[in-house]
Amino acid sequence: MEFLRPASWEEALAAKAEHPTAVPIAGGTDVMVEINFDQRRPEQLLDLNRITELHEWEVGEEQVMLGASVPYTRIIENLRTELPGLALAGHTVGSPQIRNRGSVGGNLGAASPAGDSHPPLLTAGAEVEAESVRGSRRIPVEDFFTGVKRNALAEDELIKRIHIDKASGPQQFSKVGTRNAMVIAVCGFSVALHPERRIVKAAVGSAAPTPFRATAAEDFLTAALDEAGLWESGGAIPLSVARQFAELCSASCNPIDDVRGSAAYRRHAVGVMARRTLSWVWDGYRSTGGNGARNDEGGSRCA
């Protein structure tokens, strides 16, 4: 196995162009496990740890530019106001040691249906900036996941950064695992309010071959909130609406039975998480007087 250690982003792109099967590695929290378990024997590993810009982030007017290698710990500590959904998801990733090394770029590269960052990226609104020696492009995160552990990257492309919309309203993330920490998602759910556009986005992880947006549920809820004038009034969401939203989220799943959980449980749990997280974000929205100016995490604390 060859271990490529480019000193710069340009060198990394050149190396990836020369060795399209090279596997990029940053924190190594996924790649090294696969290698250690002998599930994967790449010809080359492409070590991105010397490329400092991948560890940097920048908070802009509308978006956060998140370097691909920024570890979850940094996101949790520094970006919970701008990216509350992603910060909550970051809390659920592995152990503190894993959170110190693992990054959103790695999660996207692996493109596991169970990746914890995917649902909050889908609900916040994000683009993946991919680059190769041929040039750079931005892939909407909705188009990024193409199958189980497959993504839209060309073989010579690397993820440079992720452009994530700053939260304009409350966001939530919730995931079910069969233990209270350090667990892979049986299924995950994220919801984000976008008060300025009067829309709600909802996304599901680990309940279909790829993470996905529950668009039928989103459309229903957006319409229901609009009809009842709830964005303006800040009134409570009727139970029937919350229930219908949850049912539509549940129905949008296409899960499998596997060692971590049954398909029936996944469908059921997504519905429960949808109903609960909706109530948390809506309570957050109402508690800010309906103007959505303050980014509340819906009341949870994850120290």
Partner 1 sequence: MAGATRVPTTITQGTTTKGGIGESTLRPDGTLKVTGEFAYSSDLWHEDMLWGCTLRSPYSHAEIRSVDVSEALKTPGVYSVMTHDDLPAETNFGLEIHDQPVLAKDRVRYHGEAVAIVAADHPETARRAAAKIRVEYAELPPVHDEMSATGPDAPVLHPGRDDHHAPHVAHPNIVHRQPIVRGDVAAARERADVVVRHDYEVGMQDQAFLGPESGLAVPAEDGGIDLYIATQWLHVDRDQLAPVLGLPADKVRLTLSGVGGAFGAREDMSMQAHACLLAMATGKPVKIVYNRYESFFGHVHRHPAKLTYEHGATRDGKLLYMTCRIVLDGGAYASSSPAVVGNAASLSVGPYVVDNVDIEALALYTNNPPCGAMRGFGAVQACFAYEAQMDRLAEELGMDPVELRQKNAMSQGALLPTGQQVDSPAPVSEILRRVKAMPMPPEKQWQSSDATRGGTDVDVRALPGGLSNTTHGEGVVRGVGYAVGIKNVGFSEGFDDYSTARVRLEVAGGEAVAMVHTAMAEVGQGGVTVHAQIARTELGVSGVTIHPADTQVGSAGSTSASRQTYMTGGAVKKSCEAVRERVLQLGRERFASHHPAWTGGGELLLEGGKVVTGSGEVVAALVDVLGDEVVEEELEFRHRPTEAFDLKTGQGFGHVQYSFAAHRAVVEVDTELGLVKVVELACAQDVGKALNPLSTVGQIQGGTTQGLGLAVMEEILVDPDGKVRNPSFTDYLIPTILDTPTIPVDVLELADEHAPYGLRGVGEAPTLSSTPAVVAAIRNATGLALKRVPVRPEHLTGTS
Contact residue for partner 1 among 264, 289, 291, 293 (CB under 8 A) = 264
Contact residue for partner 1 among 64, 184, 207, 242 (CB under 8 A) = 184
Decide: is 154 part of the binding site for partner 1 (CB under 8 A): no
Decide: is 100 part of the binding site for partner 1 (CB under 8 A): no
The interface region with partner 1, picked from 60-68, 138-146, 160-168, 272-280 by CB under 8 A, is 272-280
Residue 215 DSSP one-character state? H
Decide: is 294 part of the binding site for partner 1 (CB under 8 A): no
Decide: is 174 part of the binding site for partner 1 (CB under 8 A): yes
Decide: is 287 part of the binding site for partner 1 (CB under 8 A): yes
| Least gap, CB of 62 to partner 1 (angstroms) | 27
Pick the closest to residue 237 from 194, 280, 198 (CA basis). Answer: 280
Nearer to partner 1, 154 or 302 (CB): 302
Other CB atoms within a 10 A radius of the CB of residue 122 amount to 26
Nearer to partner 1, 41 or 135 (CB): 41
Decide: is 148 part of the binding site for partner 1 (CB under 8 A): no
Rounded to 5 degrees, φ, ψ at 166 are -70, 145
Q: With contact defined as beta carbons under 8 Å apart, do 277 and 172 qualify?
A: yes
C-alpha dist (Å) from residue 124 to 106, 163, 280: 19, 10, 16
| Least gap, CB of 281 to partner 1 (angstroms) | 12
Q: With contact defined as beta carbons under 8 Å apart, do 119 and 203 qualify?
A: yes
Nearer to partner 1, 5 or 294 (CB): 294
Distance of CA 204 to the CA centre of its chain: 10
Strands (E), 26-169: 44-47, 57-59, 63-67, 126-132, 135-140, 145-147, 150-151, 158-165
| Least gap, CB of 97 to partner 1 (angstroms) | 12
Residues of this chain, 65-94, that bind partner 1 according to CB under 8 A: 88, 91-92
C-alpha dist (Å) from residue 166 to 20, 97, 249, 276: 34, 27, 24, 23
* CA pseudo-torsion sign 230, 232, 235, 236: positive
Decide: is 193 part of the binding site for partner 1 (CB under 8 A): no
How far is the C-alpha of 303 from the C-alpha of 301, rounded, in Å?
6
Spell out the residues 6+ positions from residue 250 whose beta carbon is closer than 8 angstroms to its own.
267, 268, 270, 271, 274
Decide: is 186 part of the binding site for partner 1 (CB under 8 A): yes
The interface region with partner 1, picked from 102-110, 163-171, 227-235, 257-265 by CB under 8 A, is 257-265
Nearer to partner 1, 173 or 231 (CB): 173
Contact residue for partner 1 among 72, 144, 145, 173 (CB under 8 A) = 173
Nearer to partner 1, 49 or 300 (CB): 300
Lookup: tokens for 264: 């029936």
Query: Under rule CB under 8 A, how many of the chain's residues touch partner 1?
Result: 42
The residues binding partner 1 (CB under 8 A) are 33, 36-38, 88, 91-92, 95, 172-184, 186, 259-262, 264-265, 267-269, 272-273, 276, 280, 283, 287, 299-303
